[in-house]
Amino acid sequence: MSARSSTHQPQQYKDSEHPAIMKPLHSITMMVLAITFLLNEVASATFSGSQESFEIPATEIIASAADADLPYPLVKNHPKGNINGIHVEGTGTMNEIIAQQAARGATIPLLSVSPVAKCNESLEAYAIGHFCIPVAGHNWGRAPYLPLYEMVTFFQEYQYTWSMEPRRCAMALCIDDAAAYVCNDWFSVHQTSLAEFAEHLMEIVHFCCVSQGPQVEWSCGGQSFDDLGWNVILKWNPGCKKGGNLGQT
């Protein structure tokens, strides 16, 4: 079933209506996030004073953190590796990479994906919390609901290991006014699968969607944190159309 024909409605919880299991975890989640921030600040001071133990790889910054309204500067992704067993090289969001391959006449076979309803089954093992829009310090708009399951399915259909530059954000997918970004909080390159992006995106869909009325389309946005020190951000981006737009912030 396509994302646009789905009749699924996202769960919407007010703070006072969260499932009982979420309430005792809330303070723990906030404590973990605070400790993560403090550890990063300590690491920053340590690495800045040692030139022999650490060096941040040079990347092309396309927008400052302030201009992109993200935690860190926005960089271009330069995938180089195998997607579903096919070697690819390119620049930009994942949908742009696929389009670049198609322009070269290279076909990438899709994986057989499980229903998105099962997407969150493994998320509990490593998700440490989420923030829904409005998020303090940012002016993020909510993304339209309809493209989101298409985005989740896209992440599931393409098997690829994404490399995250330290203390940087990159746009992973850009469809119909909805943009998914991945940000790395740590001071080293981290790699993970696109399937994990899908699971964190689904957490945002489950908990961070709202509607202004019965005839008004749902909209969603927020930030989902992984226990390995990276996070997924979903927000509105009017530059995102079919195929994505490289460099839009």
Tokens 């740590």 sit at which residue?
186
Contact criterion met (CB below 8 Å) for 177 and 144: yes
Say which amino acid occupies 95: N
Predicted pLDDT at 92: 82
Could you tell me where the beta strands, DSSP code E, fall in 6-136? 61-63, 74-75, 80-83, 86-89, 127-132
Average pLDDT over residues 240-244: 64
Q: With a threshold of 0.75, does the pTM exceed it?
A: no
Question: How far is C-alpha 87 from the geometric centre of its chain's CA atoms?
Answer: 23
Reported confidence tier of residue 80, pLDDT bands at 50, 70, 90: low
Cα(124)–Cα(68) distance, integer angstroms: 30
Reported confidence tier of residue 211, pLDDT bands at 50, 70, 90: confident
Predicted pLDDT at 59: 63
Going by the DSSP 8-state scheme, the letter that residue 213 receives in this structure is: S
Cα(199)–Cα(210) distance, integer angstroms: 19
Going by the DSSP 8-state scheme, the letter that residue 186 receives in this structure is: S
Tokens 């960089």 sit at which residue?
75
Average pLDDT over residues 87-91: 77
pLDDT in tens, 162-202: 888 999 999 999 999 999 999 999 999 888 888 899 999 99
Reported confidence tier of residue 144, pLDDT bands at 50, 70, 90: very high
Q: What is the dihedral of CA 157, 86, 178, 176, to 10 degrees?
A: -90
pLDDT above 70 (res 28): no
Cα(195)–Cα(103) distance, integer angstroms: 25
Predicted pLDDT at 33: 58
Contact criterion met (CB below 8 Å) for 205 and 143: no
Question: What percent of the chain is predicted at pLDDT more than 70?
Answer: 64
Average pLDDT over the chain, rounded to an integer: 74
